[in-house]
């Protein structure tokens, strides 16, 4: 029998420190620039202070990009612009420095970590530190079969938790979270449609590399068929991930929850991460307080998920490439908010007004 009790997360996850946030707001009111004049940067600085339990807020000095990778059997239906089973090629390009996230991370000086959960390739073809958490080779075709066994789903979930612990223990102070997958946006659409109680067409987008109309219709049909399999298991989140998720999505969900336990802030990227965040919110309602939505990708499913969690994207650039590239663009904004909150000087105290001499009472005139 499994020893993993998802209900424990509700007890373990606390909200960011409300008292510290009030102290940060009070400090902001004393700074030389009027409160509100920096827009959302004020809110970000106060959120970071609460997350860190520190006033003034500490600078973000050790951010890290974490990417969970996997292939999805549903890609066999032609729902993606990439061939089924080809996510490993994207991973190699990330590792070789040729993907958008690699260029941006290099420019910003942020290390990138790739975690293979279910790539459809021989593990010997990738570095050991990439493949050591792998659960299986590829995930099942969710319109007709489960993505994972119950044991695989738990193993992937626990692997995500372990990666969160590794990052927190190594001193990472903020994670930019993304995925590298083929078929992942279809799986994400199923989870979001199921959890939001909506139809396939409402959540179906064009994916990371825009698909044509025929592929979009195939994607809608795949999500519709998988939804029939998802709805009976909506009450059991780990079973939902096993039925219509995948090893990478189960790992991302575990990572998000354990990061909240460890008080490690996370910037969410696109629709795949948003779907996992929605599952995680079902498990522990306070968890989204530790996350920022880095960007709006334009994928309709992402918009539905973020609305459900009341997370407002920091940027709206329509970056659909995945692999945390869009969220990474938001990192300098968060770092700027921290710097402004910590380094803007406070207004000098006004000198106390000099005591005025008391007025002398005039003698009353005698009545004549």
Residues involved in catalysis? 323
Is the CB of residue 148 less than 8 Å from the CB of residue 278?
Answer: no
Determine the Cα–Cα distance for residues 103 and 97; give it in Å rounded to an integer.
7
Determine the Cα–Cα distance for residues 205 and 247; give it in Å rounded to an integer.
22
SS3 track for the chain = CCCCCCCHHHHHCCCCCHHHHHHHHHHHHHECCCCCCCCHHHHHHHHHHHHHCCCCCCCCCCEEEEEEEEEEHHHHHCCCCCCCCCHHHHHHHHHHCCCHHHHHHHHHCCCEEEEEEECCCCHHHCCHHHHCCCCCCCECCCCCCCCCCHHHHHHHHHHHHHHHHHHHHCCCCEEEEEEEEECHHHHHHHHHHHHHCCCHHHHCCCCCCCCCHHHHHHHHHHHHHHHHHHHHHCCCHHHHHHHHCCHHHHHHHHHHHHHHHCCCCEEECCHHHHHHHHHHHHHCCCHHHHEEECECCCCHHHHHHHHHHCCCCCECCCCCCCCCHHHHHHHHHHHHHHHHHHHCCECCCCCCCCCCCCCCCCCCCCCC
Beta strands 291-293 and 266-268 are: parallel
Which one, of 15, 1, 74, lies nearest residue 222 by Cα?
Answer: 74
* C-alpha 308, offset from chain centre: 14
Tell me the angle at which helices 300-309 and 271-283 cross, rounded to the nearest 10 degrees.
Answer: 30
């Amino acid at each position: 029998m499994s020893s993993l009790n998802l209900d424990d997360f509700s007890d373990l996850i606390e909200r960011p420190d409300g008292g510290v946030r009030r102290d940060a707001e009070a400090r902001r009111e004393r700074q030389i620039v009027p409160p509100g004049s920096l827009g959302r940067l004020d809110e970000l600085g106060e959120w970071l202070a609460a997350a860190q339990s520190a006033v003034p807020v500490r600078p973000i000095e050790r951010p890290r990009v974490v990417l969970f990778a996997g292939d999805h059997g549903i890609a066999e239906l032609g729902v993606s612009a990439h061939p089924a089973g080809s996510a490993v090629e994207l991973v190699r390009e990330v590792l070789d420095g040729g993907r958008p996230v690699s260029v941006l991370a290099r420019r910003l000086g942020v290390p990138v970590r790739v975690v293979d959960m279910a790539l459809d390739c021989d593990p010997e073809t990738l570095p050991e530190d990439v493949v050591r958490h792998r659960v299986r080779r590829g995930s099942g075709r969710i319109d007709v079969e489960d993505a994972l066994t119950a044991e695989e789903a738990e193993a992937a979930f626990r692997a995500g938790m372990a990666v969160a612990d590794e990052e927190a223990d190594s001193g990472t102070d903020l994670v930019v979270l993304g995925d590298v997958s083929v078929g992942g946006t279809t799986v994400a659409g199923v989870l979001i449609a199921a959890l939001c109680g909506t139809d396939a067409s409402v959540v179906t987008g064009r994916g990371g590399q825009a698909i044509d109309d025929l592929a979009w219709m195939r994607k809608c049909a795949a999500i519709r068929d998988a939804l029939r399999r998802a709805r009976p298991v909506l009450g059991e989140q780990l079973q939902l991930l096993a039925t219509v998720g995948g090893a990478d999505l189960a790992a991302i969900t575990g990572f998000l929850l354990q990061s909240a336990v460890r008080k490690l802030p996370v910037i969410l990227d696109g629709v795949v991460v948003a779907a996992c965040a929605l599952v995680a919110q079902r498990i522990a309602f306070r968890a989204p307080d530790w996350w920022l939505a880095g960007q709006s990708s334009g994928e309709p499913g992402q918009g539905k998920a973020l609305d459900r969690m009341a997370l407002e994207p920091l940027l709206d650039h329509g970056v659909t490439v995945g692999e945390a590239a869009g969220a990474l663009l938001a990192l300098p904004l968060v770092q700027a908010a921290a710097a402004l909150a910590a380094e803007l000087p406070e207004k000098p105290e006004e000198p106390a007004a000099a005591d005025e001499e008391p007025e002398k009472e005039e003698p009353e005139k005698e009545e004549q």
